[in-house]
């Protein structure tokens, strides 16, 4: 088992990574000075697979747990589902010392975390992520929240978990498309922070795609270290934490205009990162060979790297980018790469450059239309 510390003073916590960890959950919680009651919040895909062993482990350590199952998928991140969770917590008389276990992907983590942040003005919670994206990204750092009709993650809080338990055995049942989408965030850590990790991913991608446990555990632990390091320096995103958004300005806009289900988050930011690398070449002199290495790694991971847009979709994409949280004063801001392993944030990018990066073929000479 590997352990990564998230250094946040009195709110510091550990991320434990390895196989077979679900059965340790109760024992780990017992070390955290939590109350005797808890609620396990999970979704309809994950609960039938793992809730039993989670509840058994809690029981063996002396905790009494109730299972709250929410629908699977992004629509569960809503105020309506939050209310259902609050009602269940109240019905089972969870009190100030009680805690919540978030068992699932990023959706469950964000939802259950926000329920924990707000129920009785805040109770403790523990993250037990079950998707690759949640292992390396959403379960660490304390950003929790739900969506509004007007947009994603518009209501939320910073509420750090007391523990993150990444049991890599849970990834065995993850659908291949979801697994690949998680790899998009893994690759992101290489680009923004760690050239050696990026090179390792180029080398070990076949092992990762086979979900080799040792490779997975090492790579997940490295990603968690990077996220912990960034969050430890800038918990509430006043600066550095913005680098985690590499590829996300375009990625979020793609998710926004294409509706639920068309692109997974990891797929959208794969396209976004490839475009951001091209913009980096144009604006910061980022090595074009490295931009190509980035594109190739996403292709090899089975992720999309391009999007075909009609004129109307293009218009919508730019409108969505202008509405993104990363926009201030009307300028679209990007995280751009200086080299693999080093990025800068807050870069203003002209719309023409974004267009070119999304449509590299427009660089080729074309016959004028008849
Ligand atoms: N808080 C943060 O810092 C942060 C960071 C990144 C993303 N997010 C959020 O995370 C969400 C996406 O998370 P996600 O990609 O994990 O999606 P998800 O939680 O919807 O999970 C994807 C699908 O896989 C299923 N699933 C989960 N674990 C499984 C397993 N082990 N076996 C089989 N099926 C399983 C789920 O039921 C779901 O259908 C988005 O809402 C995004 O906004 C938050
Ligand atoms: Zn992301």
pLDDT at residue 169 above 90? yes
Task: Give me the mean pLDDT over the 199-214 stretch.
Answer: 98
Closest atom, ligand 1, to C-alpha of 110: 1
To test the ligand 1 pocket, which listed residue (44, 76, 107) has its Cβ within 8 A of the most ligand atoms? 107
pLDDT band at 362 (very low <50, low <70, confident <90, very high): low
> What atom of ligand 1 comes closest to residue 77's alpha carbon?
41
Distance 296 CA to ligand 1 centre (A): 25
**Helices H, strands E: what count in the chain?**
13, 11
Q: What is the reported pLDDT for 370?
A: 40
Return the pLDDT at 256: 87
Nearest protein CA to atom 35 of ligand 1, as residue = 174
Q: What is the pLDDT of residue 31?
A: 97
Question: Ligand 1 centroid vs 110 CA: distance in angstroms?
Answer: 9
Q: What is the pLDDT of residue 327?
A: 60
Q: Give the number of the ligand closest to the Cα of residue 152.
A: 1
**CA gap 243, 225 in Å, rounded:** 15
> Counting ligands in written order, which one lies closest to the CA of residue 188?
2
Local confidence band at 365 (pLDDT 50, 70, 90 cut-offs): very low
**For ligand 1, which residues put their CB under 6 angstroms from it?**
43, 45-46, 49, 72-74, 77, 104-108, 110, 130-131, 133-134, 137-138, 141, 143, 152-153, 170, 173-174, 178, 265
Q: What separation, in Å, do the N-terminal and C-terminal C-alpha atoms of the chain show?
A: 65
134 alpha carbon to ligand 1 midpoint, in Å?
A: 6
| C-alpha 355: how far from chain center | 26
Which active-site residues does the annotation give?
Answer: 121, 143, 185, 227, 237, 241, 245, 248, 252, 265
Confidence of residue 364 (pLDDT cuts 50, 70, 90): very low
Residue 172 burial (CB count, 10 A): 11
Residue identifier of the C-alpha nearest atom 4 of ligand 1: 138
Is the pLDDT at 230 greater than 60? The verdict is yes
Task: Identify whether the C-beta of residue 294 lies closer than 8 Å to the C-beta of residue 201.
Answer: no
pTM: 0.95
Position 18 pLDDT exceeds 90: yes
pLDDT digits (tens, 9 = 90+) for 27-84: 999 999 999 999 999 999 999 999 999 999 999 999 999 999 999 999 999 999 999 9
How far does the centroid of ligand 2 lie from the alpha carbon of residue 234, in Å?
17
Tell me the pLDDT of the chain averaged across its residues: 94
Q: Ligand 1 mean position to 181 CA, how many Å?
A: 10
How far is the C-alpha of 52 from the C-alpha of 72, rounded, in Å?
A: 18
Best CA proximity match to 228, nearest among 12, 10, 74, 33 = 12
For CA atoms 205, 211, 215, 218, give the dihedral sign.
Answer: positive
Q: Which of 67, 1, 50, 58 is nearest to 29 (CA)?
A: 58
If one residue of 47, 106, 263 were mutated to test the ligand 1 pocket, choosing by the most ligand atoms within 8 A of its CB, it would be 106
Q: Tokens for 257, please give them.
A: 């205009």
**Dihedral pair phi/psi, residue 349, rounded to 5°:** -125, 125
């Amino acid at each position: 088992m590997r352990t990564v510390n998230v250094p946040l003073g009195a709110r510091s916590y550990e991320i434990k990574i390895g196989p077979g960890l679900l059965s340790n959950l109760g024992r780990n919680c017992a070390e955290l000075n939590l109350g005797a009651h808890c609620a396990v919040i999970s979704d309809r895909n994950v609960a039938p697979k793992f809730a039993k062993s989670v509840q058994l482990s809690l029981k063996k350590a002396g905790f009494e747990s109730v299972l709250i199952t929410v629908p699977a998928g992004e629509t569960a991140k809503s105020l309506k589902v939050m209310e259902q969770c609050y009602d269940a917590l109240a019905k089972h008389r969870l009190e100030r010392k009680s805690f919540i276990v978030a068992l699932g992907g990023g959706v469950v983590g964000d939802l259950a975390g926000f329920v924990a942040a707000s129920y009785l003005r805040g109770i403790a919670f523990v993250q037990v992520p079950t998707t690759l994206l949640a292992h390396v990204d959403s379960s660490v750092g304390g950003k929790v929240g739900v969506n509004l009709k007007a947009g994603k993650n518009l209501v939320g809080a910073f509420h750090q978990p007391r523990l993150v338990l990444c049991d890599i055995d849970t990834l065995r049942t993850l659908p291949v498309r979801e697994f690949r989408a998680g790899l998009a965030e893994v690759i992101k850590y290489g680009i923004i922070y760690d050239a050696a990790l990026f090179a390792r991913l180029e080398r070990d991608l076949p092992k990762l795609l086979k979900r080799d446990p040792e490779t997975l555990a090492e790579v997940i632990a490295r990603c968690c270290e990077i996220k912990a390091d960034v969050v430890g320096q800038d918990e509430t995103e006043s600066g550095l934490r913005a680098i985690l958004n590499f590829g996300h300005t375009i990625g979020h806009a793609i998710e926004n205009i294409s509706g639920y289900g068309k692109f997974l988050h990891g797929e959208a930011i794969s396209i976004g990162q490839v475009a951001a690398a091209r913009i980096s070449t144009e604006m910061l002199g980022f090595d074009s060979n490295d931009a190509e290495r980035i594109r190739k790694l996403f292709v090899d991971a089975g992720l999309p790297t391009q999007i075909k847009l009609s004129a109307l979709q293009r218009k919508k994409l730019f409108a969505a980018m202008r509405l993104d949280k990363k926009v201030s004063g009307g300028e679209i801001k990007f995280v751009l790469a200086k080299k693999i392993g080093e990025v800068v944030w807050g870069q203003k990018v002209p719309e023409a450059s974004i267009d070119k990066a999304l449509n590299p073929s427009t660089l080729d000479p074309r016959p004028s239309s008849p």
